[in-house]
């Protein structure tokens, strides 16, 4: 097959995935990933055009349903361990830290994370509320991860990577599905889903309740014995309906509700609330018209709301001699006006965040050799928190942006792509994020890629207007933790240069994806003490520049139907310039790899093993330096039919080696086992 023919085949493969992802499946058809992932994966997230992986203008990883099942993971952030260069850790207070090539903290501020095209990073801190996603892991179709800046397509926050979580179309979930999980370390879960429909209408409803207690509860740190409050119960109700209006038109609607009853905090951090009540909701509507595989347009609107209520139910006592916040005597929760000065109940955490978004997308083939993707969106977002902004006023702003990506098949072996995003942000004004990429086909299924791009990340509400302080019940300022920055922050800017290779060796069904990169970050936003005086509060400033360089490798080997192996490796180094915290240079593990192997027997038995290795690193924000670790997970499962039901039973062992620390040296992840049982009919 020559490259020109291969491009047509790639377009056809893209058409198939576009049909699946855009939900134009016929009634009752259950389309699986095997329909389009046997060859080089077809991806949608890089340029908004359906492309074979070797035609994409940037490196991209696909986590499919087989990988999700084989990993044994039940929390979506854990799945990112299967992507080269990603560091994942549970922090505390029911939050996760995720980093790509280092610079990893508890907020994931430099990612764009999408669920079915809906942005889920929150406007207050720019963080990702992974734990309260209104989405069951059983409803995830696949996850596409663009490994590198992609602001030319997704704008602000598509800075280091884009994580696009795609849920299953309603036609893929017919009938009833029920599953339960139960295991050590407080792990328990229940999922119940029902899908159905009539005529051109398909729908599904999913209810899930998950319980976790991530770490060993009793720990020892500098304060002596301490108790971690981390047990959580999270309930999710979600629904999706897809209605086919005609052969070309479809409308879909989704909603999701999350209710979290969480424990949080530590005994010796008595100013931190030990309970968190979390609610989140969203509604999303989408209309799509698809005339053919290369000509379609889409309009989408969504609204999301996240509410965190964490009342401070125990007093924080203050030493009258020096004014420092201390634990109350005897370790017993005390009323607000116990000896010393107590923190008012209103010092608890209350945060309300909203986002409304309207988006338009147009894909069109201009000629046999030219394709165009263009669109724009308008967004309004707000944040309200007395705790973090020291005001009852709502902070809000609107942003608008427009983008275009153009693809030109200049020669059967040459594919040129260029694009840019024009964005106006409420804090930083107007910026342009361009990208240029050249893909050269060395031979059939072997492609070399060159990519240069620029991206921006605008400051969050907290970075620009954060004002965190503790007051006594009589209004006396006890401690100013963060003070509002007196200057207008500039957006962070990244210049990324990438050389990539994507290859497929047909005889052994071996696929390779290699990336070498050199990224420079300018005007990085970070916090530090005013005038470098530790007795003064923290504030955010543009601190300087740093450089990341290294390489990623991912490989997939599928020599026979029964066996599949996925391997990922990353090697990263960070050089920091003047003004940048030296911890940034330590935030990337120099060596990191993962291996996921699985084997399926015709009898219904399957076995899989995952190995996850990270060298030592320093987590930023309030994280610690953590030691190198190797984690080994095993899963054994069997599927069979029973009275018309498809049944699967599995047992999963996690971290079967030595205990290791995540994010903080007190967060001890120990060996644990859980079992699961599911029915489908």
pLDDT tens column, 570-588: 999 999 998 898 999 999 9
d(CA 321, CA 340): 9
Q: 546: domain CATH number?
A: 2.40.170.20
Do the domain assignments include residue 322? no
Question: According to the 3-state scheme, what is the secondary structure of 53-117?
Answer: HHHCCCCEEEECHHHHHHHCCCCHHHHHHHCCCEEEEECCCCCEEEEECCCCCCCCCCEEEEECC
Average pLDDT, the chain: 86
Phi, psi of 643 (to 5 degrees): 50, 45
pLDDT surpasses 50 at 19: no
pLDDT surpasses 60 at 260: yes
3-state secondary structure of 649: strand
Residue 432's CB is within 10 A of a number of other CB atoms, namely: 12
Q: Which domain holds residue 247?
A: 3-311+348-680
Question: According to the 3-state scheme, what is the secondary structure of 581-625?
Answer: CHHHHHCCCCEEEEEEEEEECCCCEEEEEEEEEECCEECCCCCCE
Residue indicated by tokens 């530790």:
534
Q: Are 597 and 75 in contact (CB under 8 A)?
A: no
Residue 602, classified by CB atoms within 10 Å of its CB into exposed (0-12), middle (13-18) or buried (19+), is exposed
Do the domain assignments include residue 324? no
Per-residue model confidence as pLDDT tens digits over 171-229: 999 999 999 999 998 899 999 999 999 999 999 999 999 998 877 666 655 555 556 66
What pLDDT was estimated at residue 219?
Answer: 60
- Beta carbons within 8 Å of 557's beta carbon, 6+ residues apart: 508, 509, 510, 511, 564, 565, 566, 567
Q: Are 385 and 352 in contact (CB under 8 A)?
A: yes
Please state the rounded mean pLDDT for residues 408-425.
97
What pLDDT was estimated at residue 649?
Answer: 97
CA distance from start to end of the chain? 43
Do the domain assignments include residue 405? yes
Per-residue model confidence as pLDDT tens digits over 30-88: 334 444 345 778 998 899 999 999 999 999 999 999 999 999 999 999 999 999 999 99
Paired tokens of 163: 């994580």
Do the domain assignments include residue 214? yes
d(CA 452, CA 15): 27
Q: Are 427 and 397 in contact (CB under 8 A)?
A: yes
Do the domain assignments include residue 252? yes
Per-residue model confidence as pLDDT tens digits over 129-187: 888 889 999 999 999 999 999 999 999 889 999 999 999 999 999 999 999 999 998 89
Residue 176, classified by CB atoms within 10 Å of its CB into exposed (0-12), middle (13-18) or buried (19+), is middle
Do the domain assignments include residue 329? no
Binning pLDDT at 50, 70 and 90, where does residue 292 land? confident
Residue indicated by tokens 């889903």:
193
pLDDT surpasses 50 at 23: no
Q: Are 678 and 648 in contact (CB under 8 A)?
A: yes
Number of folded domains in the chain?
A: 1
Do the domain assignments include residue 333? no
Report DSSP letters for 185-235, one per residue.
TT-EEEEEEEEEEETTEEEEEEEEEEEE--S-SEEEETTEEEEB---EEEE
Strand 591-600 versus strand 605-614 pairing type: antiparallel
d(CA 63, CA 398): 33
Do the domain assignments include residue 462? yes
pLDDT surpasses 90 at 253: yes
């Amino acid at each position: 097959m020559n490259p020109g023919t291969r491009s047509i085949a790639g377009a056809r493969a893209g058409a198939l995935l576009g049909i699946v992802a855009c939900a134009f499946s016929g009634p009752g058809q259950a389309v699986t990933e095997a329909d389009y992932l046997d060859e080089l994966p077809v991806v949608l997230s890089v340029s908004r055009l359906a492309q074979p992986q070797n035609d994409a203008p940037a490196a991209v990883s696909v986590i499919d349903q087989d990988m999700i099942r084989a990993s044994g993971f039940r929390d979506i952030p854990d799945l990112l361990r299967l992507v080269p260069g990603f560091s994942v850790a549970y922090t505390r207070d029911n939050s996760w830290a995720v980093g790509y090539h280092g610079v990893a903290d508890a907020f994931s501020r430099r990612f764009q994370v999408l669920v079915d095209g809906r942005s889920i990073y929150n406007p207050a801190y720019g963080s990702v509320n992974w734990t309260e996603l209104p989405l069951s892991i059983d409803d995830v179709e696949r996850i596409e991860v663009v490994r590198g800046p992609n602001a030319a397509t997704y704008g602000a926050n598509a800075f280091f990577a884009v994580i696009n979580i795609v849920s299953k179309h309603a036609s893929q979930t017919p009938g009833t599905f029920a599953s339960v999980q139960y295991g050590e370390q407080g792990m328990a879960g229940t999922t119940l889903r029902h899908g159905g429909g009539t005529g051109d209408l398909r729908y599904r409803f999913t209810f899930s309740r998950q319980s976790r207690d991530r770490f060993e509860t009793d720990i020892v740190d500098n304060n002596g014995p301490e108790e971690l409050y981390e047990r959580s119960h999270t309930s999710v109700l979600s629904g999706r309906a897809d209605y086919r209006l005609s052969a070309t038109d479809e409308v879909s609607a989704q909603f999701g509700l999350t209710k979290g009853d969480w424990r949080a905090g530590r005994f010796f951090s008595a100013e931190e609330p030990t309970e968190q009540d979390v609610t989140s909701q969203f509604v999303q509507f989408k209309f799509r018209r698809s005339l053919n595989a290369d000509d379609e347009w889409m309009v989408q609107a969504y609204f999301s709301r996240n509410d965190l209520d964490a009342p401070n139910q125990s007093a924080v006592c203050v030493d009258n001699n020096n004014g420092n916040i201390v634990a109350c005597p005897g370790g017993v929760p005390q009323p607000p006006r116990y000896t010393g000065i107590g923190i008012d109940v209103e010092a608890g955490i209350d945060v309300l965040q909203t986002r409304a978004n309207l988006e338009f997308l147009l894909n069109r083939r201009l000629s046999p050799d030219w394709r165009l993707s263009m669109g724009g969106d308008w967004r309004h977002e707000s944040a309200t928190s007395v705790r973090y902004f020291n005001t009852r006023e709502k902070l809000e702003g609107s942003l608008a942006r427009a983008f275009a990506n153009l693809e030109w098949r200049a020669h059967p072996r040459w594919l040129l792509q260029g694009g840019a995003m024009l964005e106006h942000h409420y804090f930083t004004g107007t910026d342009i994020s361009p990208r240029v990429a050249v893909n050269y086909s060395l031979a059939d299924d072997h492609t070399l890629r060159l990519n240069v791009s620029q991206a921006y990340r605008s400051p969050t509400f907290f970075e620009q207007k954060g004002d965190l302080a503790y007051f006594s019940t009589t209004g006396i300022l006890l401690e100013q933790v963060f003070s509002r920055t007196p200057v207008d922050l500039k957006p962070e800017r990244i210049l990324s240069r990438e050389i990539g290779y994507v290859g497929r060796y047909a005889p052994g069904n071996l696929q390779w994806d290699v990336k070498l990169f050199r990224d420079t970050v300018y005007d990085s936003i970070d916090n530090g003490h005013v005038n470098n005086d530790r007795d003064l509060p923290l504030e955010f400033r543009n601190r300087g520049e740093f450089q990341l360089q290294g390489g990623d490798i991912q490989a997939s080997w599928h020599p026979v139907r029964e066996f599949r192996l996925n391997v990922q490796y990353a090697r990263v180094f960070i050089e920091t310039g003047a003004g940048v915290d030296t911890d940034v240079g330590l935030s990337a593990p120099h060596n990191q790899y993962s291996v996921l192997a699985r084997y399926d027997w015709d009898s219904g038995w399957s076995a899989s093993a995952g190995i996850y290795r990270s060298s030592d690193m320093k987590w930023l924000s309030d994280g610690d330096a953590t030691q190198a670790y190797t984690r080994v997970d095993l899963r054994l499962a069997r599927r069979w039919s029973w009275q018309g039901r498809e049944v699967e039973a599995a047992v999963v062992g996690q971290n079967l080696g030595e205990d290791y620390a995540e994010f903080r040296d007190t967060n001890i992840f120990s060996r644990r086992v859980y079992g699961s049982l599911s029915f489908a009919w």
